[in-house]
Amino acid sequence: MQIIEQAGRPVDSPVWQDVVNVLAGSSVRVRISFDDFTGKTVYHCHILDHEDSGMMGLIEDR
Ligand SMILES: [Cu+2]
C-alpha cells in the first residue's frame, strides 16, 4: 500500500510499505494496487485488543 494522506494532510511522495503506525486519534488514507491480485485479503491492527474490537476487515477484489 501507499500512504497518500496522514492526519488529513496529503503525503508529498508516497512510498510502498506493508505497515503504518497510526497514532491514537489520527488517521491515514491508503492506496492499494490490485493489478496482480484478485480475491480476499485482510487489513488489521497489530494491537490484538484493537483487532478483537473490530479493527480488522476484509477487502475483496473481483
Ligand atoms: Cu489499533
Predicted pLDDT at 15: 93
pLDDT score at 43: 92
Q: CA-CA distances (angstroms) from residue 34 to 38, 46, 48?
A: 7, 22, 27
**CA–CA distance, 3 with 19 (Å, rounded to integer):** 10
Tens digit of each residue's pLDDT (9 = 90 or more) over 21-59: 999 899 999 999 999 989 999 999 999 999 999 999 999
Query: Closest Cα partner for 20 from 55, 54, 49, 52?
Result: 55
Q: What spacing in Å lies between the alpha carbon of 19 and ligand 1's midpoint?
A: 12
Ligand 1 centre distance from Cα of residue 14 (Å):
22
Are 2 and 14 spatial neighbours (Cβ–Cβ below 8 Å)? Answer: yes
